[in-house]
Amino acid sequence: MSPKSSSLKIEPMLRRTPSSTSLVCYCMNLMSGIKKVTLKNLENSDHPNPTIRKQFKKWTVIVLISMLAMLLPFQSKLGVPVFHNVHAQSVVSLKSLQVQLWPEYDQPSMLVIVDFELSKETELPARVTFRIPDEANLTAVASQETTGLINAEYEGPSVENDWQIITVIVNNPTTYHLEYYEPLKVEGTVRRFIYQWNGSYPVTGFTISILKPVDTTTLTTEPRLDPVTKQDGSTVYTSQPSSLSKGEQYNLRLTYDKTTDTLFVPPQDLRPSTPVDEKTEGRISFQNYLPFILAAIGLMTLLGGLVYYWQSGSKREGRRRRRKPSQQTEKEPATGIYCPQCGTRAQMNDLFCRVCGTRLRKKEG
**Same structural domain, 157 and 47:** no
Do 218 and 123 share a structural domain? yes
How many whole angstroms separate alpha carbon 220 and alpha carbon 192? 10
Low-confidence winner among 86-90, 110-114, 254-258 (lowest mean pLDDT):
86-90
pLDDT band at 352 (very low <50, low <70, confident <90, very high): confident
**Where is the domain boundary, 68, 84, 100?**
84
Chain centre to alpha carbon of residue 198: 33
The torsion of the CA quartet 71, 77, 81, 83, rounded to 10 degrees, works out to 90
Q: Are 235 and 198 in contact (CB under 8 A)?
A: no
Q: CA–CA separation, 138 vs 132, rounded Å?
A: 9
What proportion of the chain, given as a percentage, has pLDDT over 70? Answer: 62
Q: Is residue 230 part of a domain?
A: yes
| Stretch 274-300: mean pLDDT | 71
Q: What is the mean pLDDT of residues 50-68?
A: 60
The answer to whether residue 10 sits within a structural domain is no
Q: Give residue-wise pLDDT tens across range 227-265.
A: 999 998 999 999 999 999 988 989 999 999 999 999 999
- The residue ranking higher by pLDDT, 43 or 7, is 43
Residue 11 in any domain: the answer is no
Cβ contact 53:42 at 8 Å = yes
Q: Please say if the pLDDT value at position 217 is more than 70.
A: yes
Q: What domain count does the chain have? A: 4
Residue 274 counted as domain residue: no
- Which among 97, 80, 113, 54 is positioned nearest to 236, based on CA atoms? 113
- Indicate whether 78 pLDDT > 50: no
Instruction: Point out which residues pair with 293 in neighbouring strands.
Output: none
Rounded CA-CA distance 174/120 in Å is 10
In a domain, 271, yes or no: no
What does the pLDDT look like over 8-18, one tens digit per residue?
444 444 333 33
Three-state SS annotation for the chain: CCCCECCEEEEECCCCCHHHCHHHHHHHHHHHHHHHHHHHHHHHCCCCCHHHHHHHHHHHHHHHHHHHHHHHHHCCCCCCCCCCCHHHHCCCCEEEEEEEEEECCCCCCEEEEEEEEECCCCCCCEEEEEEEECCCEEEEEEEEECCEEEECCEEEEEEECCEEEEEEEECCCCCEEEEEEECCEEECCEEEEEEEECCCCCEEEEEEEEECCCCEEEEEEECCCEEEECCCCCEEEECCCEEECCCCCEEEEEEEEECCCCCCCCCCCCCCCCCCCCCCCCCCCHHHHHHHHHHHHHHHHHHHHHHHHHHHHHHHHHHHHHHHHHHHCCCCCEEEEECCCCCCEEECCCCECCCCCCECCCCCC
Mean pLDDT of 118-129: 88
The verdict on 128 and 98 lying in the same domain is: yes
Give the separation between CA 189 and CA 258, rounded to whole angstroms: 5
For 303-316, the pLDDT digits (tens) are 887 887 777 766 66
Give the contacts of 107 (CB within 8 A, at least 6 positions apart).
181, 263
Nearest to 101 by CA among 315, 264, 318, 288: 264
Same domain, 94 and 149: yes
* 73 and 173 co-located in one domain: no
- 293 plus 358 within the same structural domain: no
pLDDT tens digits for range 152-209:
999 989 998 888 999 899 899 999 999 999 999 999 999 999 998 878 778 999 999 9
Range of the domain at 315: 283-330
**Does residue 5 sit within a domain?**
no
Q: Is residue 2 part of a domain?
A: no
Name the band, by pLDDT with cuts 50, 70 and 90, for residue 347.
confident
Q: 364 pLDDT exceeds 80?
A: no
61 and 107, same domain (yes or no): no
- Which domain CATH number covers 115? 2.60.40.1730
| C-alpha span between 100 and 264 (Å, rounded) | 15
Same domain, 107 and 35: no
Q: What CA–CA distance (Å, rounded) separates 348 from 333? A: 6
**pLDDT at residue 58, rounded to an integer:** 61
For every residue of 255-315, which 3-state class applies, written as one string? Answer: EEEECCCCCCCCCCCCCCCCCCCCCCCCCCCHHHHHHHHHHHHHHHHHHHHHHHHHHHHHH
Please check whether residues 225 and 185 belong to one and the same domain: yes
Asked if the structure places residue 195 within a domain, the reply is yes
User: What is the residue-averaged pLDDT of the chain?
Assistant: 76
- pLDDT reported for residue 196: 85
Residue 298 has pLDDT above 70, yes or no: yes
Given a cut of 70, whether residue 88 has pLDDT beyond it is: no
Tell me the C-alpha to C-alpha distance, in Å, between residue 296 and each of 10, 284, 299. Answer: 69, 18, 5
